Amino acid sequence: MRVPLLLSAIASVALWALAACAKPAARPAQAAPAAKFRLKVVRSFPHDSKAFTQGLLFFEGKFYESTGLHGRSSLRRVDPESGVVERGVDLPADLFGEGLARVGGRLVQLTWQNGRALVWDLATLRKEREISYQGEGWGLCFDGRYLIMSDGSDTLALRDPESFARVGEIAVRRAGRPVRNLNELECVEGVVYANVWQDNHIARIDPRTGQVTGWIDASGLLAPEEAGVADVLNGIAYLPATGHLAVTGKLWPRIFEVEVVPDASPAVK
């Protein structure tokens, strides 16, 4: 029976050679850590410290703001320099105002748990219609094609700006891990900035991939005596003339114009 033994030996040598030459299986690539940034204050504007800010945007020299709380929710147009509310509309007491976005000559305002989006004329702040949706409404911005909406989870919904139909979604991840509590949103030149509720950070998100490409430390904006009576960070608006952001919070006495600058500490893993 020498022939079978010889064949067995040859087969063993061949298998050993193949194993020696085989490359180890490639490990899945890990998501790159988000770059770290901080905010450099350029200037500040007065802000109504009774405004429970839920949505903020800037257009043609004015701030537009959605405020929350039952019986205190509103939509308002505000002069930045004076902080004066030039025009405002109170929402019915059963509605809790949330995120706000501009689509052309209209404003779209979310409500928290009412499942109703309110569509307003930008110039007059007169309500044009209401649209129903499922789930909670938190933040909203318009990227020029879709309305992007948060609901406090780690997923952003893409919605048609006319029908408000849900047409897609973005799962947001930082170094491979879900980023939950996504709140007020601002769409800026292909990037989405998102407040993280009850956190002093703003996530810079690539909407094509859902990856958090920047983690922005927004702590320390208020003086200690101001922070003691204010609520959480919430409110991001883009200022096109300078390329800066304006940020504020619920019951904050000021809106800050800020520049996003690199943070020298190590990248977030």
pLDDT tens digits for range 173-213: 999 999 999 999 999 999 999 999 999 999 999 999 999 99
- Tell me the Cα Rg of the chain: 25
For the stretch 111-163, pLDDT in tens is: 999 999 999 999 999 999 999 999 999 999 999 999 999 999 999 999 999 99
Spatial CB neighbours of 248, under 8 Å, sequence gap ≥ 6: 47, 53, 56, 233, 234, 235, 254, 255, 256
Domain at 30-262, CATH class: mainly beta
Compute, in degrees rounded to 10, the torsion defined by CA atoms 184, 188, 190, 191: -50
Name the pTM for this structure: 0.86
Taking 60 as the threshold, does the pLDDT of residue 43 lie above it?
A: yes
**Res 37: pLDDT:** 97
> Do the Cβ atoms of 180 and 152 come closer than 8 Å?
yes
Widest pairwise Cα distance in the chain = 102
CA angle 235, 232, 127 (to 5 degrees): 40
